Structure 1
């Protein structure tokens, strides 16, 4: 359910764009949709994650500039800026603090050696850096409609593949059922 709620504003943005071919209108709808999503998250969980807050701020600022200036270039930068900020947070956590971000997020459910947590954390940094760069490439080398398709299906698909690959990699380092019993 959380995944659906998290992606609902993007889906709404996509549907509005496909129905109208109007990036400005789709962005104008994205802003309150994201705010409502955050409100729903707050009401149901009593917390907002930092990543969600960063995304909300970028949607409001860059989406607001897109609507106010009637220029779709601003919203096209949002996925890149968000991904690069996340990447910097993951990279910085390699050197600041006792645990990398990925370990802090996942260690309650999974136990891995610290070396593997650092490798996974660095992989997330690379993933975010590549996704941000890929967004710019698609946004400024293909049509607006192609970018909108990529924003929903391409980025979501690549994220799914990356998470699946990460899960396969992590499974190599998890204790087997018979090891846990011993």
Structure 2
């Protein structure tokens, strides 16, 4: 459920982008959607609301969500102020590459990598599996960041917006499946109690 909530701002970004040129009339007020700039404003608002609602419900926030909110607001504001979509197009790359550096560095800092620190209380896996799992996530962040730039610079803005929506869902699904495949063989069945 949490992952679905995190996709909502991206979906709203996509939907508002599709309204480019349309005019919304409410009472005596009207607004004409201007493509990526309206979509960026909605992304900023939706991400802020999503993080705020998450905090209201759980009374905690993951650092990743805080960094995501800061990145969306920083790059979104730059996009709107300078009227240049490249700022928001670079946001996914920079965010993913920063995560890659953090996860990668965690292999060498302390006695547990970031995956083990995050999930170690819930899962008991051999050290080698934690290492492979952490490196899988590092590879994912590097690849997702690089592909974002390839699409941003090689294709149209509209193609990038489509890619942003579908790749976010696709890469998350693939990463989830690969993570489950790595963890699965090490999961133990609960022992049946003697009757």
Q: Same fold judged by TM-score > 0.5?
A: yes
Larger radius of gyration: 2
Q: For residues 42 and 182 of structure 2, what CA distance do their matches in structure 1 show? A: 39
TM-aligned CA deviation for residue 6 of structure 1: 1.3
TM-aligned CA deviation for residue 181 of structure 1: 5.3
TM-aligned CA deviation for residue 109 of structure 1: 2.5
Q: For residues 167 and 86 of structure 2, what CA distance do their matches in structure 1 show? A: 19
TM-aligned CA deviation for residue 171 of structure 1: 1.0
Question: Quick check: 53-62 or 166-175, which moved more?
Answer: 166-175
More strand by share: 2
SS in 1 for 2:186: coil
- Map 1:1-182 to 2 at 5 A: 1-20=1-20, 22-175=35-188, 177=189, 180=191
Q: For residues 192 and 115 of structure 2, what CA distance do their matches in structure 1 show? A: 27
TM-aligned CA deviation for residue 100 of structure 1: 0.9
SS in 2 for 1:172: helix
Q: For residues 41 and 159 of structure 1, what CA distance do their matches in structure 2 show? A: 20
Contact 2:129 2:182 in 1 (8 A): no
Unaligned runs of 5+ in 1: none
Q: Deviations over 1:43-83 (max 9, x none)?
A: 11111111111111111111000001111000000000110
Runs of 4+ in 1 over 4 A off after TM superposition: none
User: How large is the RMSD of aligned CA atoms in angstroms?
Assistant: 1.6
TM-aligned CA deviation for residue 160 of structure 1: 0.6
Unaligned runs of 5+ in 2: 21-33
Q: Give TM-score scaled by structure 1 length.
A: 0.93
SS in 2 for 1:162: helix
Contact 2:17 2:35 in 1 (8 A): yes
Q: Give TM-score scaled by structure 2 length.
A: 0.87
Q: For residues 99 and 169 of structure 2, what CA distance do their matches in structure 1 show? A: 16
Q: For residues 156 and 109 of structure 1, what CA distance do their matches in structure 2 show? A: 25
Q: For residues 111 and 52 of structure 1, what CA distance do their matches in structure 2 show? A: 25
